[in-house]
Amino acid sequence: MTLSEEAKSRLTDLVTLQPTKNKELQDRWGLESGSDVHQYLESELKEYYYRDENSLIRATPEAAALVGIDTGDDVVRVPKLQAEIIETLAGPDDDPQSVVSVLHALQAGEIETDVDAVRSALRSLEDKGIVAVVRRTVPTFRLAVERDSIEVEMLDKPDA
């Protein structure tokens, strides 16, 4: 199957963002709804993705090979906001932070964002195994791994 340039670009997004959700791809691709993402995946990239046991979207090994990305390396490829959260968030042995606490820490570092974007980014990092949720009165978060044990590569496209 020959892919258009747009399809290759979107396949690259899928490989780098995996595991991901319709909403993250919707924002990244500028689509109107999660249904539009599903329709695009089914019509253009059907043989290059699947949904795991948690319904998260993942790329096949063939997809990664096609776009030339080694998914076996230890590099975490994330959008800018997620990279900033990794730098800001409490470490694995520190007291966890609420979404609002993370938001305020980002804003103190002059990062422009809102609470919904921070919550979504934290959940995406949780899906990737980078962030752990600690249940309290409200969910709180901290890194699930030592900060220096991961290499973060910021994606060149801005967050949606």
Strand order in the sheet with 97-98: 97-98, 140-143, 131-134
Cα dist from 21 to 35, 131, 152, whole Å = 12, 16, 20
Within the chain, all domains assigned CATH 1.10.10.10 are found at 5-67, 75-148
Interval 56-101: pLDDT, tens: 999 999 999 999 988 776 778 888 999 999 999 999 999 999 999 9
pLDDT band at 158 (very low <50, low <70, confident <90, very high): low
CA distance 127 to 25: 14
**Which residues, including other chains, have CB under 8 Å from residue 2's CB and lie 6 or more apart?**
none
Please list, in sequence order, all residues whose beta carbon lies within 8 angstroms of the beta carbon of residue 62, skipping any fewer than 6 positions away: 47, 48
Tens-place pLDDT, residues 35-44: 999 999 999 9
Question: Could you tell me which CATH class the domain 5-67 is placed in?
Answer: mainly alpha
pLDDT at 159: 58
Tell whether domain 75-148 is in CATH 1.10.10.10.
Answer: yes
Burial of residue 137 (CB within 10 Å: 0-12, 13-18, 19+) is exposed
Work out the mean pLDDT of the chain and round it to a whole number. Answer: 90
What percent of the chain has pLDDT above 70? Answer: 96
| Crossing angle between the packed helical segments 99-108 and 80-88, to the nearest 10 degrees | 100
